[in-house]
Chain A
Amino acid sequence: MNNEILDVIKKYEGKRGSGIPILQDVQAIEGFISKDSIRYISEHTGIPSAELYGIVTFYSMFRLKPQGRHIIRVCKGTACHVSGADNIASMLNTLLKLPEGESTTEDGRFTLVEVACLGCCSLAPVIMVNEDTYGKVASDKLEKILDKYE
């Protein structure tokens, strides 16, 4: 695992402003940013771990916990909001039976996140599963969508 992180660090060696891209690459490998990774990156780049932690908690794409195999993004943009995005999110919560305060299912199949806007406003309400976007979703059609992802 550390070898892969070291490769990432080497890729950005000598380049300025590499804190964010290193963390993005590490998250792509490990699925999230662990405390160990922060410590490791800090030791090998000289970027203080407080600064790295600051970046991770500032930007919404970084996660400090492992995520599910599939990421469901519920768009909470304005157009989706006025088209019933809240109901879509409630339905997903019911279907996924998420433990209180958690965003990942117990079997690690799905992680549910709410995002500000996916930019598909004309097809509101919209959800995205991994890189697949679904427009005009109806709450009773969600189960069928989820079935596609094992």
Chain B
Amino acid sequence: MLIKEIKVGMASCGLAAGAKDVYNAFHDVLPETVKLTKTACIGFCYAEPMVETIDDEGVSRFYGYLSSKDAEAFAKHEPPQKKLIISQKEDAPGNKKLARQVRIATRNSGLIDPDKIEQYVARDGYRALKKVCTQMDRQTVIDEVKNSGLRGRGGAGFSTGLKWQFAKDAPGDKKYIICNADEGDPGAFMDRNLLESDPHAVLEGMAICAFSVGADEGYIYCRAEYPLAVRRLKKSIKDAEKRGFLGNHIYGSDFSLHLKLKEGAGAFVCGEETALIASIEGKRGMPRLRPPFPAQSGIWKKPTNNNNVETYANIAWIINHGADAYAAYGTEKSKGTKVFALAGKVKEPGLVEVPMGTTLREIIFDIGGGIKDDRSFKAVQLGGPSGGCVPEYLLDTSVDYDSIAKIGAIMGSGGMVVMDDTTCMINIASFFLNFTQNESCGKCTFCRIGTKRMLEILRRIQAGKGEMEDIETLHELSEQIINSSLCGLGKTAPNPVLSTLKYFKDEYLAHINEKKCPAGVCRDLVNFNIDPEACTGCTLCSRKCPVNAIEGVVKGPHKIDQDKCISCGACFEACKFDAVIRS
């Protein structure tokens, strides 16, 4: 085998894992016969840094867990077989994982250099836009999107085609479109990955949308926490303008579109569309009452269509392949595919795109490889702060908008954080409440103060000072917050508490009645000591202790200073000799 080309994955996760060093090492040693290029992320984040090789027969192979030391082997055309992850020719551990996926939104991710527009064009890029501009009328495009069954991928799951219809039908000459790239759900990173790996797919989707609703101006509202995505978007907009895919008279038609990038300033509530519009207008991002919906009155009171990154990324594919091809995937009411961000205590975290209707178990165990360190599964958190925790007995639930809602979680943007038996569910509930309470804009009283009161109760339970009536109060407050909040943030803020109360009530009871944290997480309820007999004096615990509470000499027994100890459990996790005792 002779390697002809090596592509290094250089999206945020790859870079964080050291892809830059790997790229530089390849650059130094590769012979001239091997072309070295960059790409972004194929979603196998656990194996980063990754590269793809193309050999003289055109066979593609992916190698993972690389370091700069591996470069020499590639230069000799003898890549380490142990690090082979995916191969088009021979068996590889990741082949099955990839085969289970249907990559529509992520069709180019990790395969092209996102900074090179010609590579996007070479893979059918902007062909759908050409078809739309030269052969289709506005209503036909909208009908196609309607028939595909595509629903908003940002979380709410509203029909995309219908939303476009409202914006198209709204009276007015001046209309706007928005791409919501303010991915704020902790635990979700599919939008970041799409923007970093295939920005033109999003731009093309936006252009098709603008054509059909009759907009000539659009905004991409992207979080400033994603500097690489921001840079790529800016470059991509410029490149698309140079080639005439954006700007005036696109494909010689009457249709013109000018896109601008707005960097978010850090406020979770700006993911809500009316808050996002306020933020684009330069104001505090406070949600307002709907109606009027943005389709009637959005940016500067003009009709505005707003979709999420992943929604737009699907559009060009739908136009190229037809609504039926898209609707062939999925369930009756949730068509197509969805990208999930798999993270937490799972062996192989990353991004996966699967048809709607795949079960949670298939995603976590078959694609994600099961639970890290072979511990036992406790829950999977779906939908971020607005979602809920799903217990083991519901793992065979089909992943679609309606089935997920039925079990008290939400599809949300597609974040899936897996938790094992070392996770305390009260701690998780309080983690999310802390988040929503911080991010509440303060407009609605119940959201502003109610979440604060709920958080205080949860903290009390965590400290072993909870009472049985607290559970009743949590239910009561939840109901009031849900009923009295204006926007999605408040309406869903109690979900993490309600779902843990529903599925993990025994943990609440253990904290309240027995003053015990079954997972050994809640700091006021656990105590750590070192067994001097078992301690070998390896010093690892002392190095891991974040507050320097462990003293002792090398090869001598160590001791925890209880006054300094914050019961974080770092020593317990670090000790290889079971010398740290948790009580």
The chain A residues found within 8 Å of chain B, CB to CB, are 16-21, 23-24, 51, 54-55, 58-62, 73, 76-79, 81-84, 86-88, 90-91, 93-94, 115-124, 126, 131, 133-136, 138-140
A139 cross-chain contacts in B, Cβ below 8 A: 544, 546, 570
Residues A119 and B343 in contact in the complex (CB < 8 Å), given A19-B282, A84-B570, A91-B546: no
The yes or no answer to B470 lying at the interface (CB within 8 A) is: no
Choose among B192, B343, B544 the residue that contacts A124 (Cβ–Cβ < 8 A): B343
Given contacts A17-B282, A123-B45, contact A117 B349 (CB under 8 A): no
Residues of chain B from 148 to 195 with CB closer than 8 A to chain A in the complex: 183-189, 192
CA gap between A55 and B284 in the complex, in Å: 5
Task: Looking at the assembled complex, report how far the CB atom of A42 sits from the nearest CB atom of chain B, in whole angstroms.
Answer: 14
How distant is B545 from chain A, measured CB to nearest CB, in Å? 8
Nearest 5 pairs of A and B residues by beta carbon: A17-B282, A122-B45, A77-B186, A59-B265, A121-B343
Given A55-B283, A81-B431, verify A117-B12 contact (CB < 8 Å): no
Which residues on B are within 8 Å of A, measured CB to CB?
Answer: 12-13, 15-17, 45-46, 48, 183-189, 192, 224-227, 262-268, 279-285, 300, 341-345, 349-351, 381, 384, 415, 417, 419, 423, 428, 431-432, 435, 439, 441, 543-544, 546-548, 566, 568-570, 573
Complex Cα distance, B415 from A81, in Å, reads: 14
Chain B residue at smallest Cβ distance from A86? B568
* Chain B residues closer than 8 Å to A59, beta-carbon distance: 264-267, 284-285
Q: Given the complex, which residues of A lie within 8 Å of B224, measured CB to CB?
A: 24, 61
The verdict on A79 contacting B284 (CB below 8 Å), with A16-B300, A123-B45 known, is no
Question: Which residues of the other chain, B, contact A61 by a CB distance below 8 angstroms?
Answer: 224, 265-266
A117 contacts B185, C-beta separation under 8 Å: yes
How many angstroms between the C-alpha atoms of A121 and B16 in the bound complex? 11
A87 and B343 form a contact (CB under 8 A): no
Identity of the chain A residue whose Cβ is nearest the Cβ of B270 in the assembled complex: A59
Provided the pairs A119-B183, A120-B13, A123-B45 are in contact, do residues A58 and B284 lie with their beta carbons within 8 angstroms? yes
**Within 8 Å CB of B183, what residues of A?**
119
Q: Are A17 and B281 in contact (CB under 8 A)?
A: yes
Indicate if the CB atoms of A121 and B282 lie closer than 8 Å.
no
Say how far A97's CB is from chain B's closest CB, in angstroms: 11
Most buried by A among B183, B186, B381: B186
Give the residues in chain B near A94, CB-CB below 8 Å: 546-548
Give the nearest-CB partner of A59 in chain B. Answer: B265
Alpha-carbon distance A94/B279, docked complex (angstroms):
37
* Complex alpha-carbon distance, A148 and B114, angstroms: 30
Q: Which residues of A contact B548 (CB under 8 A)?
A: 94
Residues of A within 8 A of B381 (CB): 78
- Closest beta carbon of chain A to B195's beta carbon, Å: 10
**Residue of A76, A115, A123 most packed against chain B (CB within 10 A):** A123
> B566 touching A90 by the CB < 8 A rule?
yes
18 contacts between A and B (CB under 8 A): A18-B282, A23-B265, A58-B267, A58-B284, A78-B417, A79-B186, A81-B431, A87-B569, A93-B546, A116-B439, A117-B187, A120-B12, A120-B13, A122-B45, A122-B46, A122-B341, A123-B13, A131-B227
> Taking the nearest CB of chain A, how far is it from the CB of B41, in angstroms?
10
- CA of A16 to CA of B299 in the docked complex: distance in angstroms? 11
Report chain A residues within 8 Å CB of B341.
121-122
Extra 7 A-B pairs, beta carbons < 8 Å, given A23-B265, A90-B568, A121-B186: A18-B282, A21-B282, A82-B419, A117-B187, A120-B16, A122-B189, A124-B349
